[in-house]
A and B are shown apart, each in its own frame.
Chain A
Amino acid sequence: MALRRQIRVGSQWMYADEAHKALREALRVMKDEEGGAHGGHHLPWIRRYVFSTDHKWIGIQYGFTALLFLMLGFCLMILMRLQLGWPGHAFSVMKLLGESRAPGGVLLPEAYNQLGAMHGTIMIFLGIVPLAVGAFGNYLVPLQIGAPDMAFPKLNMISYWCYAPGGLIMLASFLAPGGTAQSGWTSYPPLSVIASQGQTWWLVGMVFLITSSLLGSVNFIVTIIQLRAKGLSYMRFPFFVHAQFVTSFLLLLAFPPLEAAAVLQLMDRVAGTSFFLPSGLVVSGQALTNAGGGNPLLWQHLFWFLAHPEVYVLILPAMGIVAEIIANGTRKPLWGYKSMVFATVFLGFMSFVVWAHHMFLTGMGTTISAFFQTTTMIISIPSVIILSSLFISLWGGSIRFTTPMLFALAFLPMFGIGGLTGLPLGLAAADIHLHDTYYVIGHFHYVVAPGTIFAMFGGIYYWFPKATGRKLNDFWGRVHFWVSFVCINGIFFPMFAQGLAGVSRRLYDGGMQYAHAKQIAAQTNPFMSVCAIGLLAAQVPFVINFFYNAIAAALGHRDEGLGSNPWESTTMEWAATTSPPLAHGNFEVLPVVYRGPYEYNVPGEAAEFIPQHMPAAPAPAPRGGSLLPSTAVAMREN
């Protein structure tokens, strides 16, 4: 097969066919703007930007909304950390919550509970899942598999428009009399059933969010199975696609039981049923008049049946992002790709049989306890396989320490700490001591905060050039990384010590009222709170960087020398599309796949990397050593 011809256009070397493509696209755009042949092509503003059916724009909608919610959830936590660091102190910022929640600027315990419940809910359901799946998944999966869009574009639009109202309902719950949900993000009955009106709003909001996820997961699975390009067999997928694929099955099959549980709790709250209320319940000295006969554990079973697979929903897309960045940044294929794929599938499957490790202290007998301990220990194996493969992938690589790479590299030990600290929690005997302590909070925050969120940041720095045609500022990206990295460890690492010393979670004073917890609480809480404020400060350069470049891109200021594949990636979202990709259909002609996803430095080939959709390797680099000037630009930045 003939080698691809390269021509010089101005000061730039380009592949000839790419140049022709760009010229055709430019002519088409010009014709469009003249209102030429494509009369019906122009969509009204509301269908182009509000009710868009383009997966790329929907991904961006999800991304912006989710990032806003993440910031909001983080701000709620900042208020909590002020209280934890300096319990009982008056803070003027606390006055934002109003007199009923923070009289004189001192946070009330009930208000602390509201912040806690909503912090968890917002971060998980309004922040991370929409960002990881709705934003990254929506934007990248069709591009990475060579599809023109999702299988059901209108359904995709509906998914977003179930999420956004659901989020608004959650926010509106803050205005309910008695405040918002305050029974933890876990909403355990009987407390949640007798709680004030805000809890009902929470339940309704959850129904919207669950519906959004269900519709989205159907879309993802059908898209991946049916719309993958010719030649793209399953074992040629970029690992990110495998991660999203398994994640979608988790969302599809694990969310419905929580939807059922939410309906049951709504019935208990609104219709007076007793699904979760046992007989003889007395609240504040008054016996309840309900029929009784219910079981609070029923809620816990149904809730955790979802919520355990949910944590894998939180981590798998992040692992997918890290894998893509590492393969690209080490200039070699992932080590153990096949094992990673099988481990991911196995992990997804096992995630459905481990849930009662969240319930070890509910009066379980030894047999059922042993069953869940066993499955929980087994599920640690695929996680280790994936993490180890990512670590080993670094060996022998020509590592490019770009900003995304810093986040991806940090993910590895952070997720390692998070994962390892899960082990004593999965063993019932140790869990007796650690359950509902700060050890648990430290464990899951390590996986989600310096784990998933760092991966998300890495993904934003990595794919921003594809979506906008501009790179985020590299210097401020590194500032963002290093300050965040130091502060985030400062917040969460002491939690393990606190938990081991017996500081319970969900205490509004951080343990100061208990003699056994007082000392460690006083020693660690202020430090952790200072780190939290530092972490907030570290996000400022990121927010500015992000919005500055996003707005510039929206105004049409692209990075001239960037090219469509600045990271020199082999996967199709980079190598087979423009930056940003064509609004309509992504590709001029749907690509055909000829090779695996990570053909970097293939022995015997002259080219440094070969994109998936190329039948033959590109021509060797012309004099000067680099194929495209953008490579030199990228390398100089490092």
Chain B
Amino acid sequence: MTDPAAAVEPGVDVHEHAGVGDPNAHHHSPEQIRSEMRVYITVFIGLAVLTAVTVGACYGLKLPVHTAIIVALIIASIKGFLVAGFFMHLLSEKKVIYGVLILTVVFFIFLMTLPVSHHANPFGS
């Protein structure tokens, strides 16, 4: 474990990703904050477009069920990634947060897959 006494230099962005800096460093310049705000607007436009695409594909085009499920989930995942990565600053967050979330994702996968597998493997098979 890293020496707790070693301080990260304030103002130094340990993670610099896509214009959205580390939300925990508390010395951000106004220019940096304003550039982040521009990123938020860009992401918003992306989300709006993707919403339109999902609805257009599944509802407008009336895709068959299985295709609709795959298309909708892929687009929803992209939207989710944008919200989590930029609005929630996950792309520039610290390891400890990632650790918690990766653990959660693993258990989430167990929760999604194992109960249904009961269906796939009934008694006698």
* Direct A–B contact present (CB less than 8 angstroms): yes
Q: Which residues of chain A have a CB within 8 Å of any CB of chain B?
A: 225, 228, 230-235, 249, 253-254, 257, 297-298, 301-302, 305, 349, 352-353, 356, 362-368
B107-125 interface bits toward A, Cβ cutoff 8 Å, 1 = contact, 0 = none = 1001100110110111111
Residues of A within 8 A of B125 (CB): 365-367
Residues of A within 8 A of B96 (CB): 225
Say whether A233 contacts B1, CB under 8 Å: yes
CA A277 – CA B122 in complex, angstroms? 19
| Least Cβ–Cβ distance between B122 and chain A, in angstroms | 5
CA A230 – CA B5 in complex, angstroms? 7
Say whether B4 contacts A364, CB under 8 Å: no
Say whether B4 contacts A352, CB under 8 Å: no
Residues of A within 8 A of B5 (CB): 230-231
Contact among B107, B118, B123 for A253, CB-based, below 8 A: B107
Within 8 A of A (CB), among B83-123: 96, 103-104, 107, 110-111, 114-115, 117-118, 120-123
Contact among A230, A302, A364 for B121, CB-based, below 8 A: A364
Say whether A365 contacts B115, CB under 8 Å: no
| Least Cβ–Cβ distance between B32 and chain A, in angstroms | 26
Q: How many residues of B contact A (CB 8 A)?
A: 19
| Least Cβ–Cβ distance between B3 and chain A, in angstroms | 8
Residues of B within 8 A of A353 (CB): 110, 114
CA A232 – CA B5 in complex, angstroms? 10
Residues of B within 8 A of A249 (CB): 103
Closest partner residue, chain B, to A363 (CB atom): B123
Residues of B within 8 A of A230 (CB): 4-5
Closest partner residue, chain A, to B116 (CB atom): A301
Residues of A within 8 A of B107 (CB): 253-254, 352
Say whether B1 contacts A368, CB under 8 Å: no
Closest partner residue, chain B, to A370 (CB atom): B121
Say whether B4 contacts A363, CB under 8 Å: no
Instruction: Please name 21 pairs of A and B residues whose Cβ atoms are closer than 8 Å in the assembled complex, sorted by A.
Output: A225-B96, A230-B4, A230-B5, A233-B4, A234-B1, A253-B107, A254-B107, A257-B111, A297-B118, A352-B107, A353-B110, A353-B114, A356-B114, A363-B123, A364-B118, A365-B121, A365-B123, A365-B125, A367-B121, A368-B114, A368-B120
Residues of B within 8 A of A253 (CB): 103-104, 107
Most chain A CB atoms below 10 A, which of B4, B96, B122? B4
Contact among B1, B104, B124 for A365, CB-based, below 8 A: B124
Say whether B118 contacts A368, CB under 8 Å: yes
CA A298 – CA B114 in complex, angstroms? 11
CA A349 – CA B4 in complex, angstroms? 26
Residues of A within 8 A of B120 (CB): 368
Residues of B within 8 A of A235 (CB): 1
CA A368 – CA B114 in complex, angstroms? 9
Say whether B117 contacts A298, CB under 8 Å: no
Within 8 A of A (CB), among B29-61: none
